[in-house]
Amino acid sequence: MNGSLTRLGDRDVRRIGFGALRLLGPNGFGGPEVPENSESVLLAAARKADVIDTADCYGPHLSEEMIARTLWPYREGLVIATKGGLTCPSPGTWIPDAAPDRLKRCCEESLTRLRLDRIELYQLHAVDPAVQFEQSVEAMARLREEGSIRHVGLCNITMSQLERARRIVPIASVQNRYSVADRGDDALVDRCTSEGIAFLPWFPLQRGSLARAVAGPLALVARRHRTSTARVALAWLLSRSPAVVPIPGTGSLDHLDENLSAGDLTLTGADLDLLDGRELKE
């Protein structure tokens, strides 16, 4: 069985969260075509998921503003996890900017937009090659010491960067691209598991590339369970490690329900053998 809860910092959260990027325009730039539809999905997600993941550059700023406008006052136990250190000047253009003074300013502005006194999980969105990595992490540590944030998270990092950051400040979460079709961070997932660090895979479904990479196995397992390939892909992530908290995003209420119900799907050993490319022993 997939455990229904995992540890995020010093609290337990339900194991499937929600990513807010897809509530906006293409590539997360600009507002949604139908704001009322996005707000309905967000409201439904906040009732069923404990982690809502966003960033200051989504929109830009529009995702955080929508979250505050739609969900405030926030229900008890809801974690609004946001990020700083990346800019989006145009659709599909992402530029790291994680200088210490900018991270402080980003955090302050996110607090204002989200109507929070403290951000539960604040994440370094990207490593900035123009800034010494330790300087960015030290800035996050200062925000934690000042009480502006409760927990520090890191996104798009390597194993080495995780270890360097942990020498400076406790790390509550890592958010990297990871899925049944993209397992390049297997070792990092294992490290997070052993250290009690939550691992939040972004782009956990990759509907196009995932279908191409493991279309046969996913379809077969989905037929066995009379369910969708998306639910199987999320169930695989939940089976991969108790530290994994997928954050699939969607602008559809039907897809939201499908995603959030993946924890009810238990994959068999034969299912996992097939999805992991091992020979079945039946």
The set of catalytic residues is 58
Separation CA 142–CA 260 (nearest Å): 35
Vertex 16 angle, CA 37 and 160, to 5°: 120
Contacts of 264 (CB under 8 A, 6+ apart): none
What distance in Å separates the CA atoms of residue 50 and residue 37, rounded to the nearest whole number?
A: 21
CB 270 within 8 A of CB 280: yes
Q: Do residues 83 and 56 touch, judged by C-beta distance below 8 A?
A: yes
